[in-house]
């Protein structure tokens, strides 16, 4: 039987960097909505930012008032837009890069929410990319900035740097063994950090995925935020790897049976409901991490493959893959067939 994978990459799934900004010469979106000329001013912001970003990459513009409910759900599932953006649909829009690693939301809670996504764990690189984006936008319109408070935002929790540095972590061992709730979360709170479910506030940690990010943006520099988040992630990863080894040593045949059953279900089922899919997929991920299932890759490509599968099998994404909306049971059948093929294509050896 293969040993437990001890790579950082088997825990750290992805990195997200987000900046909140407002423009000095325009009412903030909350006030803008009440303005008689709200849509005209919103369109002006969209036009200026679109022009700025066109010099960086190719972006698709989504004006929320013009896109369908199905497309809205698709973008939400892919974490490219927020529910606040949807609520402000009369004036809001999103600019999304062709490779979906950059999303710029306009007239959400703030005038601009810039997001940069990347696989794996690399806070400095993600920050470098987001600051390049930020500089390009600031050349078009001056940001609202105060010498005492820093960047001005609609919500006081974003004042200062306006920076949220987030890392998505796959934490089945510390989560299932109670270490997350007992030790990690209290320590994160003490450090001014938080751990949320994969899809942000209000979402549960489905699939044992947690998003670790800073809560404090005022009174700390960008470099300090990156350092605090980075050190916390390093510690959590080491705790997860330790607990995985303990889990395997203590779990015996019962744990192996549970994870192998999950693999059997995903490779043979004919109907697969979304929540069960996420549970079973987490078990297969864990089975690979613990060495119960092996593949030929040496660089943890399986992590990104399973991440892509998890997003692709959400309801609106299934409808888009199918080319037309499906009823609930039809979606479950589609999810089962697609998952069977995807897991089998990974050619895992079950030991």
Q: Please provide the DSSP assignment of 189-253 as one string.
A: HHTTEEEEETTBTT---GGGEEEEEE---SSS-HHHHHHHHHHHHHHHHHHHHHHHHHHHHHHHH
Is 126 part of a structural domain of the chain? no
Q: Are 23 and 143 in contact (CB under 8 A)?
A: yes
pLDDT at 6: 72
Tell me what percent of the chain is helix, strand and coil, each rounded to the nearest 5. 50, 20, 30
Q: How far apart are CA 351 and CA 260, in angstroms?
A: 9
Whether 6 maps to a domain, the answer reads no
Query: Considering the domain boundaries, does residue 286 fall inside one?
Result: yes
Per-10-residue mean pLDDT, the chain, length 351: 74 97 92 81 93 91 97 97 95 96 97 96 97 93 94 94 97 96 96 84 76 95 98 98 97 96 98 97 96 75 88 97 98 99 92 75
Q: Is residue 271 part of a domain?
A: yes
Mention every residue, 6+ apart, whose C-beta is less than 8 A from residue 331: 315, 318, 319
Closest CA to 166 of 341, 318, 18: 18
Which structural domain, as residue segments, surrounds residue 282? 247-350
Quick one: pLDDT at residue 262?
Answer: 98
State the total domains in the chain.
Answer: 1
Q: In terms of C-beta density within 10 A (0-12 exposed, 13-18 middle, 19 or more buried), how is residue 177 classed?
A: middle
pLDDT score, position 202:
52
Residue 29 is assigned to a structural domain of this protein: no
281 found inside a domain: yes
pLDDT at 16 (0 to 100): 98
Would you say residue 184 lies in a domain? no
Question: What span, in angstroms and rounded, lies between the C-alpha atoms of 118 and 14?
Answer: 6
Model pTM score: 0.93
Residues 6 or more apart from 280 whose CB is under 8 A from it?
Answer: 262, 265, 266, 272
**Does a structural domain hold residue 127?**
no
């Amino acid at each position: 039987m293969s040993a437990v994978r001890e790579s950082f990459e088997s825990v750290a799934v992805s990195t997200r960097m987000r900046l909140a900004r407002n423009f000095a010469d325009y009412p903030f979106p909350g006030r803008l909505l009440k303005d008689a000329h709200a849509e005209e001013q919103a369109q002006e912001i969209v036009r200026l930012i679109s022009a700025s970003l066109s010099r960086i990459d190719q972006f698709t513009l989504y004006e929320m008032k013009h896109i369908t409910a199905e497309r809205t759900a698709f973008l939400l599932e892919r974490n490219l837009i927020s529910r606040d953006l949807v609520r402000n649909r009369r004036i809001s829009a999103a600019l999304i890069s062709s490779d979906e690693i950059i999303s710029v939301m306009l007239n959400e809670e703030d005038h601009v929410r810039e997001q940069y996504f990347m696989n794996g764990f690399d806070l400095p690189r993600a920050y470098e990319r987001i600051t390049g984006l930020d500089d390009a936008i600031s050349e078009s319109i001056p940001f609202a900035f105060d010498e005492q408070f820093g960047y001005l935002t609609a919500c006081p929790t974003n004042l200062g740097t306006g920076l949220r540095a987030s890392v998505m972590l796959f934490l089945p061992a510390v989560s299932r063994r109670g270490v997350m709730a007992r030790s990690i979360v209290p320590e994160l709170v003490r450090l001014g950090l938080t751990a949320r479910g994969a899809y942000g506030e209000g979402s549960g940690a489905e699939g044992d995925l947690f998003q670790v990010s800073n809560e404090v943006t005022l009174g700390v520099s960008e470099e300090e935020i990156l350092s605090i988040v980075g050190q916390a992630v390093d510690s959590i990863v080491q705790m997860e790897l330790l607990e995985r080894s303990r889990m395997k040593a203590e779990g015996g045949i019962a744990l192996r049976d549970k994870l192998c059953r999950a693999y059997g279900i995903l490779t043979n089922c004919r109907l697969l409901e979304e929540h069960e899919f996420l549970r079973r997929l987490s078990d297969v991920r864990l089975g690979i991490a613990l060495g119960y299932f092996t593949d030929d890759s040496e660089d943890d490509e399986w992590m990104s493959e399973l991440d892509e599968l998890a997003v692709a099998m959400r309801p609106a994404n299934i409808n888009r893959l199918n080319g037309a909306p499906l009823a609930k049971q039809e979606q479950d059948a589609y999810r089962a067939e697609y998952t069977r093929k995807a897991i089998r294509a990974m050619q895992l050896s079950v030991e």
